[in-house]
Amino acid sequence: MNFGKIEHIGIAVKNLEEAKERYTQLLGVSPYKQEEVEREGVITLFYLVGETKIELLAATRLDSAIAKFIEKKGEGIHHIAYQVENIREMIQTLKLQGFEFIYDEPKEGADNKWITFIHPKSCNGVLTELCQEKTS
């Protein structure tokens, strides 16, 4: 069982509208999707750059993970997400290898994905997301 491509890079931002203007200018493309994930207290904005997505994340609540991240570390790269074919199997495989997860069961995430996160202390300080495309 292997990781697929880098699915996206998540970037925490304070002001989504300002970041949208900046990244649209930088990347030369408009975002293809904006989505609120109310359960996580975040609004996401996605750009497609080649085969990789850039996800801008802005907090909608002060108690959200993104708000806490920005308060502690400031704006910047929040996580790197990898595509997997079977997220539940990958979680079990990695747990057997000693990786610690933020949560053990996949949750519904943005952009039609099942997601989970490997704790940064298991990946040299990098929050690592696993993503599986939801099937109908």
* 18-46 pLDDT, tens digit each: 999 999 999 999 999 999 999 999 999 99
What does the pLDDT average to over 70-88?
A: 96
Sign of the C-alpha dihedral computed for residues 15, 17, 19 and 22 taken in this order: negative
Whether 50 has a pLDDT exceeding 60, the answer reads yes
Q: Cite the beta strand spans of the chain per DSSP E.
A: 6-12, 33-37, 42-49, 52-59, 76-83, 107-109, 113-118, 128-133
pTM of the predicted protein model: 0.91
3-state secondary structure (DSSP) of residue 120? helix
pLDDT at site 2: 83
Cβ-based neighbours of 27, under 8 Å, separated by 6 or more: 47, 49, 54
With contact defined as beta carbons under 8 Å apart, do 1 and 93 qualify? yes
In the chain, % of residues over pLDDT 90: 90
Distance from C-alpha of 88 to C-alpha of 76, rounded to nearest angstrom? 29
The pLDDT of residue 135: 82
Q: Cα(58)–Cα(75) distance, rounded to whole angstroms?
A: 10
What is the pLDDT at residue 78? 97
User: Where does the pLDDT of residue 136 fall: very low under 50, low under 70, confident under 90, or very high at 90 and above?
Assistant: low
